[in-house]
Structure 1
Amino acid sequence: MRSIRHLLVFLMHLSLGTFAERFSNGYYYQDIVNGNGGMYFHRIRLLVESSQPLVSAVQGSNVTLPCHYRYEPELSSPRRTRVKWFWQPEPVHGGLQERDVMVAIGTRHRSYGDFKGRVRLRRSAPGDASLVINPLQSDDTGRYRCEIIDGLEDESITVHLKFRGVVFPYYSHRGRYLMNFHEAKEACEQQDAHLTTFEQLFAAWEEGLDWCNAGWLADGTAQYPVSVPREACGGTDLAPGVRSYGPRDKDLDRFDAFCFTSSIRGEVYFLQHHSKLNFTEAGEACQNDGGRIAKVGQLYAAWRFVGFDQCDAGWLADGSVRYPIVTPRINCGLSEPGVRSFGFPPKHLKNGVYCYKVRW
């Protein structure tokens, strides 16, 4: 009877294939008949990993969010898996739920929403499910989740995407502390930037940003960074840090703005002209050169990302006059690198001009 029972077990497994798979407790198991008619279990575990859980990129560029999957032990032949990517905006966007980015099964794939036509899987090697986004748009930052589904099993990892950029203070041409939240938001956007988040302002403070005027942030608070405590900036008794007025009335309260730019999609340059120009002439000169007068955010991006250094005051699109300094030197402003500002002089005065050309 024992030999007959062994024979029946052998024939059953032979009819199902030498290796019969099943799923239990988060693992795949292969039931293998040994030479003595018995069975032993060999479990195969799906692992999903990312070599870079935090990715920094620049708006307008492309980025790859790493995601790889493998099996332990390694399989001798590939399995059919489904790859899904999800995106969840930062809390500043309203704490929205996860949204579909794309799904892929074999060579078939589908992208969704604003990601349609901008995303693909890299697939540079077996198990590579990395997401490529090209180009990056202003609202793409947030939490991305890569999910690998194999039969009844699924595993996932999370990659956070943030923009590498520069924070700069901005105030109205009418004067200080004259913008409500909505006006500050619009002012930043007009300068090819966005209201900064607290995390971005804090990182800028850690890099040395010191500004004694409170400005709107994207979360509706008014804050300012202080590296050197002084009486005019909250007093000398307070430690350095980011000072906050907390949430403010977005319609009634008035502050400056802290803007954040992460765009290097074009070239900013100082126009070499035979004479200095008033504001109207400056705009026309840039147009005649095939470009347009540069915005404040574009000048800051050129200073930070490509090391633009020019010791010549020039008009910008908002009517301000500024110049970027990477290497401080005599007659070029203060001892620290930065974008120097002369504020908003009368537009009939003569200055140079900074122009901007889009790269195709």
Structure 2
Amino acid sequence: MSALSILFLASCSVWLSEAQTEFKRVAEENVTLPCHHRLGLLEQGSLDIEWLLHVSETVQKAVITYSGGRVYDDLNEDQKGRVSFTSNFLAGDASLQIISLQSSDAGKYICKVKNAGQYEWARITLKVVGKVILLFFQGKKIARLISWREIYFSRV
């Protein structure tokens, strides 16, 4: 078999859909990290979906997975009870919902979808900023209340 034939076969078995996005959110808010795929229509029984959080260059934590017809959402103690797939992940929307964001949720997330020898993935950076409220006084009365969200997102 020629090198060109091998290259062609390899490119047919791996379809790569890679997107990189950055989200900025305030602590205690909710966020949905997008991950869309076209692999759910192939072989339903062999569909695997995995969300990973890169803690460092060498350490990854599994956040939520779907494998063998079952969702595993209690893999990461820090996010237990706060993560879920949104919508219909089997039909193409494997987006991750995280509720009540914490500073420890910040980092680089990877969504990997595999089915019948084909792969798709998305990379997302999540930044979580603290919740701060500034009070401006005029005499003894509060003149204005500004949340960190107003200040931070007006400069981004």
Find out whether 1:65 has 2:33 as its counterpart: yes
Aligned to 1:79: 43
TM-score of the pair, normalised by structure 2:
0.69
Counting only pairs closer than 5 Å after superposition, residues 139-158 of structure 1 correspond to structure 2 as 139-158=104-123
How far, CA to CA, are the matches of 1:309 and 1:107 in structure 2? 54
Identify which of structures 1 and 2 has the higher relative contact order when contacts are C-alpha pairs closer than 8 Å and 6+ apart. 2
Bigger strand fraction = 2
Give the total of aligned pairs.
Answer: 135
Q: For 1:280-359, what aligned pairs fall within 5 Å after superposition? A: 301-303=132-134, 309-312=136-139
User: Is residue 104 from structure 1 mapped to residue 66 from structure 2 by the alignment?
Assistant: yes
1:27 has 2:12 as partner = yes
Alignment of 1:71-220 (within 5 A): 77-80=41-44, 81-89=47-55, 95-105=57-67, 108-111=70-73, 112-113=75-76, 114-124=78-88, 126-163=91-128, 165=129
Partner residue in 2 for 1:185: none
CA–CA separation in structure 2 for the residues paired with 1:132 and 1:155 = 19
Question: RMSD of the TM alignment (CA)?
Answer: 3.3
SS in 2 for 1:67: coil
Gaps of 5+ in 2: 1-8, 152-156
Contact residue 69 and residue 129 of structure 1 kept, 8 A: yes
2:17 is the counterpart of 1:48: yes
**Matched residues in 2 for 1:106 and 1:309: separation?**
56
- CA apart distance, 1:309: 4.6
3-state SS of paired residue (1:25): helix
Give the fraction of aligned pairs with identical amino acids, expressed as a percent. 28
Contact 2:35 2:93 in 1 (8 A): yes
Structure 1 unaligned segments of length 5 or more: list them: 1-23, 29-44, 166-261, 264-300, 315-322, 328-337, 339-360
Q: So what's the TM-score if we normalise by structure 1? A: 0.32
Output one character per residue of 1:308-335: Cα deviation in whole Å (capped at 9) or x when no partner.
Answer: 6542569xxxxxxxx77579xxxxxxxx
Q: After TM superposition, where is structure 1 displaced by more than 3 Å over at least 4 residues in a row?
A: 45-50, 323-327
